[in-house]
Amino acid sequence: MSSDQKEVASFFQSVERNFDKAAKYTEFTKGLLEEIKSCNTVLQFKFPVRIGGDIEVIEGFRVQHSHHETPAKGGLRYSENVNQDEVMALAALMTFKCAVVDVPFGGAKGGVKIDARKYPAESLEKITRRYTAELCKKNAIGPGVDVPAPDYGTDARIMSWIIDTYRSYFPKDINALACVTGKGLTQGGIKGRKEATGLGVFFGIREACKMEEDMKKIGLTTGIKDKKVIIQGLGNVGYHAAKYLWEAGAKIVGILEYEGAIYNPEGFNLEEVVRTRQETGSLLNVTDAIIKNENSSKGLEWDCDILIPAALESVIHKGNADQIKAKIIGEAANGPLTPEADEILDKKGVMIIPDMYLNAGGVTVSYFEWLQNLNHIQFGRLEKRFNQNKYREILKAAETLSGKKAEANVRENMHGADEIDIVRSGLEETMIQAYREVRNVYVSTPGVENLRTAAFIVAINRIGHTYGELGIFP
The interface with ligand GLU within residues 326-345 (CB under 6 A) comprises 334
Instruction: For ligand GLU, give the closer residue by CB, 28 or 96.
Output: 96
Q: Mark 290-329 with x for binding to ligand GLU (rule: CB under 6 A) and - for no binding.
A: ----------------------------------------
Centroid of chain to Cα 93: 10
On whether the CB atoms of residues 59 and 66 are closer than 8 A, the answer is no
Instruction: For ligand GLU, give the closer residue by CB, 49 or 176.
Output: 176
Q: Which stretch binds ligand GLU (CB under 6 A): 276-284, 298-306, 362-370, 409-417?
A: 362-370
Binds ligand GLU (CB under 6 A): choice among 75, 106, 111, 198: 75
Q: Quick check: helix, strand or coil at residue 79?
A: coil
Q: Quick check: helix, strand or coil at residue 277?
A: helix
Q: Which stretch binds ligand GLU (CB under 6 A): 51-59, 68-76, 258-266, 426-434?
A: 68-76
How far is residue 79's CA from residue 98's CA, in Å, rounded to a whole number?
Answer: 23
The interface with ligand GLU within residues 107-126 (CB under 6 A) comprises none
On whether the CB atoms of residues 163 and 183 are closer than 8 A, the answer is yes
Least Å distance between CB 173 and ligand GLU?
Answer: 19
How far is residue 127's CA from residue 124's CA, in Å, rounded to a whole number?
Answer: 5
Q: Which residues contact 279 (CB under 8 A, 6 or more apart)?
A: none
Hey, which residues does 47 pair with through a beta bridge?
A: 58
Instruction: For ligand GLU, give the closer residue by CB, 146 or 305.
Output: 146
Give every strand in the sheet of 228-232, ordered side by side: 291-293, 260-263, 251-257, 228-232, 306-309, 328-330, 351-353
Instruction: For ligand GLU, give the closer residue by CB, 182 or 299.
Output: 182
Q: Which stretch binds ligand GLU (CB under 6 A): 14-22, 71-79, 113-121, 243-251?
A: 71-79
Give the nearest residue (CB) to ligand GLU: 75
How far is residue 29's CA from residue 211's CA, in Å, rounded to a whole number?
Answer: 35
165 scored as a contact of ligand GLU (CB under 6 A): no
The interface with ligand GLU within residues 363-392 (CB under 6 A) comprises 363, 366
Tell me whether the omega of the peptide bond preceding residue 148 falls within 30 degrees of 0, making it cis.
no
How far is residue 15's CA from residue 335's CA, in Å, rounded to a whole number?
Answer: 9
The vertex-11 CA angle with 359 and 308, nearest 5°, equals 35
The interface with ligand GLU within residues 392-451 (CB under 6 A) comprises none
Q: Which stretch binds ligand GLU (CB under 6 A): 70-78, 224-232, 279-287, 466-474?
A: 70-78
Least Å distance between CB 91 and ligand GLU?
Answer: 10
Instruction: For ligand GLU, give the closer residue by CB, 301 or 369.
Output: 369
Least Å distance between CB 181 and ligand GLU?
Answer: 5
87 scored as a contact of ligand GLU (CB under 6 A): no
On whether the CB atoms of residues 423 and 365 are closer than 8 A, the answer is yes
86 scored as a contact of ligand GLU (CB under 6 A): no
String of DSSP letters for 32-63 = HHHHHHS-SEEEEEEEEEEETTEEEEEEEEEE
Binds ligand GLU (CB under 6 A): choice among 66, 95, 181, 236: 181
Instruction: For ligand GLU, give the closer residue by CB, 84 or 366.
Output: 366
What are the distances in angstroms from CA 223 to CA 112, 215, 246, 321?
Answer: 41, 9, 13, 26
Instruction: For ligand GLU, give the closer residue by CB, 135 or 284.
Output: 135
Binds ligand GLU (CB under 6 A): choice among 60, 71, 74, 200: 74
73 scored as a contact of ligand GLU (CB under 6 A): yes
109 is catalytic: yes
- Sort 197 into a burial class: Cβ within 10 Å, 0-12 / 13-18 / 19+: buried
Catalytic residue of the set 37, 97, 109, 194:
109
Position 337: which residue type?
L
Instruction: For ligand GLU, give the closer residue by CB, 359 or 461.
Output: 359
Position 318: which residue type?
K
Q: Mark 182-201 with x for binding to ligand GLU (rule: CB under 6 A) and - for no binding.
A: x-------------------
How far is residue 458's CA from residue 391's CA, in Å, rounded to a whole number?
Answer: 38
The interface with ligand GLU within residues 454-473 (CB under 6 A) comprises none
149 scored as a contact of ligand GLU (CB under 6 A): yes
Count of residues in contact with ligand GLU, rule CB under 6 A: 12
Alpha-helical regions (H) of 324-407 = 339-348, 355-358, 361-375, 384-402
On whether the CB atoms of residues 152 and 146 are closer than 8 A, the answer is no
Binds ligand GLU (CB under 6 A): choice among 69, 86, 151, 257: 151
362 scored as a contact of ligand GLU (CB under 6 A): yes
Task: Give contact residues for ligand GLU (rule: CB under 6 A).
Answer: 73-75, 149, 151, 181-182, 334, 359, 362-363, 366
Active site residues per annotation = 109
